[in-house]
Structure 1
Amino acid sequence: MSNLKPDSVIACLDCPNHVQAVLEASMWASIRLQAPIGLLYSVPSLQQKAAVDYSGCLNIDDENTLLDQFTAKEHLSNCELKAQGKRLLHQASSYCEQQRHKIKTYTLHRHEKLDESINYVDDQAQLIVIGHHVTCKSTLSQLIRSSHCPILVTHAPFLPPTSALFAFDNSPTSHKMLNWLCKTPLVRALMIHIVMVSKENSENCDALREAYARLKQAGIKCKKTLLDCRDVTSALTYYQHDNDIGLLMTGAFAQPRLIELLKGSDTKKLLGSTTTPYLLFPKA
């Protein structure tokens, strides 16, 4: 029987360098969403050429809960992989308990690839949190593209944001994300900059004004900006840096595939350029 709890924040513990950041981001989200954290560990593929070393991936005062140093081998046996997962999940649970936020956590030890594990939690989770560098065979872009749940990608260390940039392009995905932002408590306390990168014409100005009004009506502090620029990635990156905004929020791979093929994916470019937490909303 599955122990997956509905409406959880799922913390993907797949990358040694980002485990602590993923847990910090998950606790930040859990407090705001009033949701439990599902600690998800997927057994790495046996095709990996070297063992994934999780030793020292968390800073915990209690030395008894630190992970043992894993011996680098060409391959790990199934028993060793399971034992590694249990130790990692135990350490992650201990870390969350020490933060004194009274957050409920539970573990999900999946003996499958990470993309299959994300597919398993996808329909019932509120939010999936994942590190910027994944160790599985799938790329981060592939994992995000196939998900139907909002995904928060974090670098290490995770810095709790006080403001967020919502990239609005008047697409069905951005309108769906707008509806979600008006309802979710996740970003309600943040100052949201709603930014549109497009031609400055009456249609775009009206769409941006209406989106801004929706956020205001929902009780969210916000400001609107239209940037007349061809390069979406550069415009958003510059605006975010210039305004010291701690969280980027966009639709995930919302462009038509033909445009992605000809011009490249804005989502993929932003994943490669941003150094802040990045919230991606699934394509409508």
Structure 2
Amino acid sequence: MTHVMACIDNSQSSLAVCDYAAWASQRLSAPLTLLHVLDKEKYPASADLSGNIGLGSREHLLEELATLDAQRAKLALEHGQHMLEKAHERTLISGAISPDLKQRHGHLVESLSDLQDDIRLLVIGRVGEDSTRSAQSLGSQIEAVVRTIHRPILITASHFKKPEKVMLAFDGSATAHKTVQMFASSPLCTELPIHIVMVGADSEDNRKELEKARSTLVSSGLKTEAEILPGEVETVLQAYQAEHMIDLLVMGAYGHSRIRQFLVGSTTATMLRTATLSVLVLR
């Protein structure tokens, strides 16, 4: 787990991905890798004509179609390489040092799963090039990536803004404390003010759990404010983010229930869909 890995495609969000990846690479003192995955469903590596022998004139047509597919795939690979080179230039301007370029042919989630032993932090845009959704929506593959990749994932906003204030969503669970410990041990947000927010009743038990989390962050040298607020989780967190001009939201992927072991936690999934700022998901 050594590299910051950034997923690049032809979407507008790739510019923000480059900038956030360069920022994270510098903060973590970790090498940066830029990855482009050519979808094998859109651009098959080769056509399978087995079973078509004996079709006569149709066989020739199928061979011509296979040739066209191969030409399309070759052009797509060249276009992907050009995108990587442009992303390389962008990250150098943003302060990255000698990013590596990597291109793969396959499915995004499968490719990332194969590469995750080398990933310290994955940086990916909220919406990919194939999405018809707005920049404030969530791309169709993001939840699949979060379910599959057991690494921290930074899901970027549509435009880069250097993080200056961070909010950590906390629910008092054992998983949430592990998230706090993981965050406290990372240099990603050192020297930045951290707001740890718990949504729920202002009870003695909740105050105890929140203070424990705050102490963990403070003992790591992080400037930390902690609050318990009543209301609906998503509404409260979004209002707090707007009021305090938070730039980065940090969340764990899972909540209390073991039933969610193969799913993204419901609050996390909702926040990923509705948040307009960048979200760091910790596993």
Give the TM interval when normalised to the shorter protein: 0.7 to 0.9
2:239 aligns to what?
238
Gaps of 5+ in 2: 44-67, 132-139
1:274 aligns to what?
275
Alignment partner of 1:43: what SS? strand
For the pair 1:85 / 2:87, whether they are aligned, the reply is no
Alignment partner of 1:123: what SS? helix
1:153 aligns to what?
155
184, 187, 190: which one pairs with 1:188?
Answer: 190
Alignment partner of 2:123: what SS? strand
Aligned residues: CA RMSD: 2.4
1:117 aligns to what?
111
2:28 aligns to what?
33
CA–CA distance in structure 2, aligned partners of residues 15 and 252 of structure 1: 27
Q: Letter of the aligned partner of 2:204 in structure 1?
A: S
Alignment partner of 1:148: what SS? coil
Give aligned pairs, total.
248
CA–CA distance in structure 1, aligned partners of residues 260 and 90 of structure 2: 44
For the pair 1:134 / 2:136, whether they are aligned, the reply is no
CA–CA distance in structure 1, aligned partners of residues 93 and 202 of structure 2: 51
CA–CA distance in structure 2, aligned partners of residues 258 and 232 of structure 1: 20
Gaps of 5+ in 1: 1-5, 49-72
2:10–2:83 CA contact under 8 A, matched in 1: no
2:176 aligns to what?
174
CA–CA distance in structure 1, aligned partners of residues 10 and 272 of structure 2: 17
1:108 offset after TM fit, Å? 1.4
1:97 offset after TM fit, Å? 2.6
Q: Given the superposition, is the C-alpha separation of residues 136 and 26 from structure 1 closer, same or farther in structure 2, using an over 3 Å criterion?
A: same
CA–CA distance in structure 1, aligned partners of residues 192 and 79 of structure 2: 38
2:50 aligns to what?
none
1:211 aligns to what?
213
1:259 offset after TM fit, Å? 7.9
1:243 offset after TM fit, Å? 1.0
Tell me which structure has the larger Cα radius of gyration. 2
For the pair 1:14 / 2:9, whether they are aligned, the reply is yes
TM-score calculated relative to the size of structure 1? 0.81
1:172 offset after TM fit, Å? 2.8
CA–CA distance in structure 1, aligned partners of residues 73 and 88 of structure 2: 23
For the pair 1:251 / 2:242, whether they are aligned, the reply is no
2:137 aligns to what?
none
- Identity across aligned pairs (percent)? 31
Deviations 1:32-58 (A, max 9, x none): 00011100100024348xxxxxxxxxx
1:258 offset after TM fit, Å? 5.7
221, 224, 241: which one pairs with 2:223?
Answer: 221
1:197 offset after TM fit, Å? 1.0
1:161 offset after TM fit, Å? 1.2
CA–CA distance in structure 2, aligned partners of residues 10 and 243 of structure 1: 30
1:279 offset after TM fit, Å? 0.5
CA–CA distance in structure 2, aligned partners of residues 87 and 194 of structure 1: 42
